[in-house]
A and B are shown apart, each in its own frame.
Chain A
Amino acid sequence: MPTLERFQQQTSDALLDSATACPEAVSGDKRERRFDVYRNNRAVSLIENLQALYPAVARLVGQEFFTAAARAYIDAHPPTGPVMAEFGEAFGDFIAALSGAKSIPYIRDVARIEWCRNAAYNASDAPVLSLEALASVPPDTLPELRLDPHPALHTVTSRWPSGSIWAATQRPAGTDAPAVDMRTGEQIAITRPAWDADVHILTQQSAQFLHALTQGSTIGDAAASQLDLDPAFDAGPHLVHVLSLGAFTAIAQTLTADPTATPQVSP
């Protein structure tokens, strides 16, 4: 094996497993201490990235536990490329599976909110579909319209009040946490109408209506699905609400309804 390949393989092995000796080509009598600089640089750099990505998780689990979890994560799920905005998506699942996190079952969904904020922050630029633009179409054609989701739109469905818990982590240190009813689940939408990602807690009906629209249902079909569940459902205010969040970018170009498409409503 050529020297460069052998050295890079041995370096990789020694970086991912601290029990593996440093590469045989390293000279000197303090070779492990010298090589430790690279082990440490790698860990510090990747843990700092996770810390910047998941500040709410860090606040909820405490710094010591967070750092230990991050240190384990970077060995179990090392990054596959050099773009740090794309590293760490599985951290929520990873930390939620640790025995030390069993008492905070909502941690996975709070992490999901933080990952979606990161994804929304870096999503492609697109205009936000305004209520005015929708109001300018003839009212009788409105039920036939489909809407294109904004590229920054993400949704999280949680059995826990994860949106409220995330919001509570945003308060200044030293202030009291607001009361949160831990028995209620929440539907969360993340949007980026301008440059910064916003987190919104939706009602169940708004979330289901939004979900149907993002799956390609016409406005009429999305409303009909909700009417089946609640005869008093009025689509107007829900449509105004999700548009005001910046959930959509445009009216879909194809106005012809697809007869094979069925509205998909989350349970």
Chain B
Amino acid sequence: MPVTTPPITRLPQRAGVCFKHQHYDGIVQDQPDVGWFEVHAENYLGAGGKPFQMLSWIRERYALSIHGVGLSIGSHNGLDANHLARVAALVERFEPHSFSEHLAWSTHDNRFYSDLLPVPYNRETEDTVCAHINQVQDTLKRPMLLENPSNYLSLNTSTLSEAELLNNIVRRTGCGLLLDVNNVYISARNIGYSAEDYIRSLPTDRIGEMHLAGHLVDDADPADPLLIDTHDRAVCDDVWALYAFALETCGATPTLIEWDSNLPEWAELAADMQRAESLLNPSETVRCANA
């Protein structure tokens, strides 16, 4: 009996942007042509008020992605059932076109560390993460996308490559991947491997979304420059080039411009979105730049 696999994303094949409250009035006034919006789940878990009112307005007019930043999928001691229930209620209320989370952890013994912390790449992590993804997918009644992290260090307890681990997780859970191209670029530079080889070794047919963002180059130690995933500036040229490679390798994929801190005017965010759109859907965009 054939098994129907649900699609890993219902987002349109377009460029989208993160929704920030500072831009809300302008968005309402101009109703710009945006493929979709993405929000962090944890910013919409209050009891009510303006955050929900704004998100409802967005959801009635645009496709929506809800991106979790606090489920702590990589925690050894299990998911926080209360937090998962709150996220599930949000997903049920807004019926987003996609739900995604990270290959990372952020909570340990009831302390939240407000960062996406690394996991060792080995069988123990694979079993833990797979169990948690199954729990999330069962609770949300939909497949989720798992995002690759930005790496600043390696762990000597890793026995698999990141791509091997992601392949195994996708195969075992049926989840999709959120390919953060900026994170690939950062990790490849910080750890020292080929970003292109990494992308080629992923299950490219299971990539449901891509992320683009700006990063900081910390060269306080000139002998060991580090790229930091800051989401506080425009996407750099090298990441645009890697994005073009990722599209070539994986095919057209809904793509988000992430910008979470030091927020620009809407026009600057929209310019990055339009640049992504022109790479993602070249035939539908006026190609004056290459004429």
Give the interface of A toward B (CB within 8 A).
2-5, 7-9, 11-12, 15-16, 23, 25-28, 30-31, 33-35, 37-38, 41-42, 45-46, 48-49, 78-85, 87, 120-126, 151-152, 192, 195-196
Contacts and interface: CB of A to CB of B under 8 A. Distances in A.
Nearest to A38: B115
B53 A195 contact: yes
Given A12-B109, A125-B49, A7 B114 contact: no
Contacts of A38: 113, 115, 117-118, 152
Given A7-B119, A84-B43, A85-B45, 20 more contacts: A3-B124, A4-B124, A7-B155, A12-B109, A12-B111, A25-B120, A27-B155, A28-B154, A30-B221, A33-B221, A34-B152, A38-B113, A42-B114, A49-B114, A78-B113, A83-B86, A84-B114, A121-B46, A122-B49, A126-B48
Contact of B48 (A11, A26, A35, A125): A125
B157 A7 contact: yes
Chain B residues touching A, range: 35 or more
A87 B110 CA distance: 13
A3 B157 contact: yes
23 contacts: A7-B155, A7-B157, A11-B113, A25-B155, A25-B157, A26-B156, A27-B155, A30-B224, A34-B153, A37-B153, A48-B261, A49-B114, A78-B113, A80-B110, A80-B112, A81-B107, A82-B42, A82-B83, A82-B112, A83-B70, A85-B43, A124-B49, A125-B52
Given A25-B120, A38-B117, A83-B70, A78 B111 contact: yes
A85 to B, nearest CB: 5
A37 B152 contact: yes
A196 B119 CA distance: 41
- Name which of A11, A33, A83 has the most chain B CB atoms within 10 A of its CB: A83
B119 A4 contact: yes
A27 B115 contact: no
Contacts of A34: 152-153, 190, 226
Given A27-B155, A48-B261, A195 B119 contact: no
Nearest to B159: A3
Nearest to A82: B70
B156 A4 contact: no
B107 A82 contact: yes
Contact of B45 (A4, A83, A192): A83
B228 interface: yes
A31 B70 contact: no
Nearest to A126: B48
Contacts of B69: 82
Contact of B47 (A11, A45, A82, A151): A151
Between A27, A31, A37, A152, the greatest number of chain B beta carbons within 10 A of the residue's beta carbon is seen for A37
B226 A4 contact: no
Given A9-B108, A123-B48, A124-B48, A42 B113 contact: yes
A8 B107 CA distance: 9
A123 B50 CA distance: 9
Nearest to B153: A34
B173 to A, nearest CB: 18
B153 A78 contact: no
Nearest to A16: B111
Nearest to B228: A37
A192 B51 CA distance: 13
B112 A123 contact: no
Interface stretch (B28-36, B72-80, B274-282): B72-80
B76 A5 contact: yes
A38 B46 CA distance: 27
B19 interface: no
Closest 7 CB pairs of A and B: A82-B70, A122-B46, A195-B50, A124-B47, A125-B48, A34-B153, A124-B48
B185 interface: no
Given A83-B45, A124-B48, A45 B108 contact: no
B114 A45 contact: yes
B122 interface: yes
A2 B76 contact: yes
Contacts of B108: 8-9, 11-12
Contacts of B154: 26-28
A79 B114 contact: yes
A58 B48 CA distance: 27
A154 to B, nearest CB: 13
A40 to B, nearest CB: 8
A28 B224 CA distance: 11
A48 to B, nearest CB: 7
Contact of B153 (A12, A27, A122): A27
A26 B80 contact: no
B128 A4 contact: yes
Interface string B192-234: 0000000000000000000000000000010010101000000
Given A4-B124, A33-B224, A42-B113, A195 B49 contact: yes
Contact of B77 (A5, A27, A87): A5
